[in-house]
């Protein structure tokens, strides 16, 4: 079954052709970061307008690179939530339009389920049940994946998402948006123990909190000024260590308590070098298996939506022309 996945929920216009939910034939991502960077974050109206400009060329490119035409496609999968309403509507309307014009079926896919199921594109993918931590710009949520389509939320952030903490910290440091990658790169040459930032591990549960960490970076800068040179490397490494420490601890603790042996990290922040390394190290120390999608599949892409759409279709979900975008769609 050939699925064309389409993603426009935030600031990436992306499309991919995936065979049987497992084999990527093409994966095209057009990012808008240059447009939003000057505002320090995503401006929803600019995002929607740019999706309108990019969506058809990106779709066309995905089909061309796969060596396919619309005729070859069996199913259109489109992100219908969660995300920015105007941005979601662009992809959804395009999918409906293509469905109407070609007679091909379409299905709405959940963006977070896409992040979680991107792991299916690994050759050595885990079969459910597994524990999946989605860490992105908008979400930090821990799910028990009992089966495809059967998810239980077992922990989440009480305030900022991990990616948001990165992006806000980058802003305080005068680094470009989005802040994850620049901080990750600067941290490579820094001392993670230079500054002991607080680790918030609220209570005896699997929730996390990042607003205190962000505030402590701010206090540090108010006291010592915006760092440069080695001090900047050290601050980034120390901040990164705090984020990776908290997330990896919670993930491993949850696995042990809930009896899971397979762990998945996904979402844009799962591209982070230190978080990947520490999660792997701590999981393996306890005899747990850590599955990490390649970096390209961590940040938003169309392939993950094709996989989520394929699985939704197999469960019997069908899109109809009344399907509405749901900016707050909860997967569980």
181 binds Zn ion (CB under 5 A): no
In whole angstroms, what is the distance from residue 77 CA to residue 92 CA? 9
192 is a site residue for ligand KG4 (CB under 6 A): no
| Widest distance between CA atoms in the chain | 63
Under a CB-based contact definition with an 8 Å cutoff, are residues 58 and 14 in contact? yes
Does 238 bind ligand KG4 (CB under 6 A)? Our answer is no
| 51: its two tokens | 């999706």
CA dihedral 77, 81, 82, 83 (to 10 degrees): 90
Q: How far is CA 99 from CA 33, 76, 103, in A?
A: 30, 7, 5
- Separation between Cα atoms, residue 110 and residue 309, nearest integer Å: 8
Which residue of 13, 136, 141, 248 would you call a contact of Zn ion, by CB under 5 A?
A: 136
The closest alpha carbon to 263, from 271, 253, 273, belongs to 253
Residues in Cβ contact with 194 at an 8 Å cutoff, skipping those fewer than 6 apart = 234, 235, 237, 238
Alpha helices in 136-268 (DSSP H): 162-172, 180-187, 211-224, 229-258
Residue 209 CB coordination number (10 Å):
18
Q: Per CB under 5 A, which of residues 285..314 are in contact with Zn ion?
A: 300
Residue 300 makes contact with ligand KG4 by CB under 6 A = yes
Name the segment binding ligand KG4 (CB under 6 A); options: 94-102, 119-127, 174-182, 319-327.
174-182
Minimal distance, residue 203 CB to ligand KG4, in Å: 25
Number of residues binding to ligand KG4, judged by CB under 6 A: 19
Decide whether 73 or 166 has the Cβ nearer to ligand KG4.
Answer: 166
- Shortest distance, CB of residue 306 to Zn ion, whole angstroms? 15
Whichever of 63 and 264 has its CB closer to ligand KG4, that residue is 264
Closest distance between ligand KG4 and the C-beta of residue 136, in Å? 3
Flag whether 203 is marked binding: no
d(CA 12, CA 27): 12
User: Per CB under 6 A, does 13 bind ligand KG4?
Assistant: no
Total residue length of the chain: 332
Only segment of 121-129, 130-138, 238-246, 301-309 that touches Zn ion (CB under 5 A): 130-138
Q: Which residues between 267 and 286 bind ligand KG4 (CB under 6 A)?
A: 267-269, 271-272
Interface residue with ligand KG4, options 160, 184, 234, 245 (CB under 6 A): 184
Least distance (Å) between residue 45 CB and Zn ion:
20
Task: State in angstroms the smallest separation of the CB of 115 from Zn ion.
Answer: 6
Q: Say whether residue 209 binds Zn ion (CB under 5 A).
A: no
Residue 86 binding partner per list ligand KG4, Zn ion, none, with a CB distance cut-off of 5 to 8 Å that depends on partner kind: none
| CA distance readout (Å), 300 to 67, 92, 113, 198, 303 | 23, 16, 12, 30, 9
Buried residues in 297-325 as b, exposed as e (16+ CB within 10 A): bbbbbbbbbbbbbbbbbeeeeebeeebeb
Annotated binding site for substrate: 134-138, 167, 180, 184, 272
Q: Could you list the residues that contact ligand KG4 (CB under 6 A)? A: 10, 136-138, 163, 166-167, 178-181, 184, 267-269, 271-272, 299-300
Annotated binding site: 111, 115, 134-138, 167, 180, 184, 272, 300
Q: Could you list the residues that contact Zn ion (CB under 5 A)? A: 136, 300
């Amino acid at each position: 079954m050939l699925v064309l996945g389409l993603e426009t929920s935030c600031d990436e216009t992306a499309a991919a052709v995936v065979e049987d939910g497992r084999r990527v034939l093409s994966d095209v991502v057009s990012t808008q970061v240059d447009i939003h960077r000057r505002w320090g974050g995503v401006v929803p109206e600019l995002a929607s307008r740019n999706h309108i400009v990019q969506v058809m060329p990106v779709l066309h490119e995905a089909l061309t690179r796969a060596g396919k035409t619309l005729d070859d496609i069996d199913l259109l999968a489109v992100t219908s939530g969660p995300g920015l309403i105007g941005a979601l509507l662009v992809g959804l309307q395009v999918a409906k339009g293509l469905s109407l014009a070609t007679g091909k079926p379409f299905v709405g896919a959940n963006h977070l389920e896409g992040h979680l199921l991107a792991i299916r594109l690994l050759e050595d993918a885990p079969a459910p049940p597994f524990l999946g931590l989605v860490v992105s710009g908008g979400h930090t949520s821990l799910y028990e994946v009992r089966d495809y389509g059967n998810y239980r939320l077992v922990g989440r952030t009480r305030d900022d998402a991990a990616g948001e903490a990165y992006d806000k910290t980058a802003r305080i440091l005068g680094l470009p948006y989005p802040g994850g990658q620049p901080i990750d790169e600067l941290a490579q040459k820094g001392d993670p123990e230079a500054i002991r930032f607080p680790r918030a591990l609220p209570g005896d549960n699997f929730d996390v909190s990042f607003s205190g960490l962000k505030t402590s970076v701010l206090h540090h800068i108010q006291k010592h000024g915006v760092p440069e040179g080695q001090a900047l490397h050290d601050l980034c490494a120390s901040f990164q260590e705090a984020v990776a420490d908290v997330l990896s601890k919670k993930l491993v603790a949850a696995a042990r308590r809930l009896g899971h042996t397979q762990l998945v990290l996904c979402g844009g922040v799962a591209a982070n070098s230190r978080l990947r390394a520490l999660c792997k190290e701590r999981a393996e120390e306890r005899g747990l298996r850590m599955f990490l999608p390649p970096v390209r599949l961590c940040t938003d892409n169309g392939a993950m939506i094709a996989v989520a759409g394929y699985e939704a279709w197999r469960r019997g979900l069908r899109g109809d022309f009344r399907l509405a975008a749901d900016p707050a769609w909860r997967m569980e």
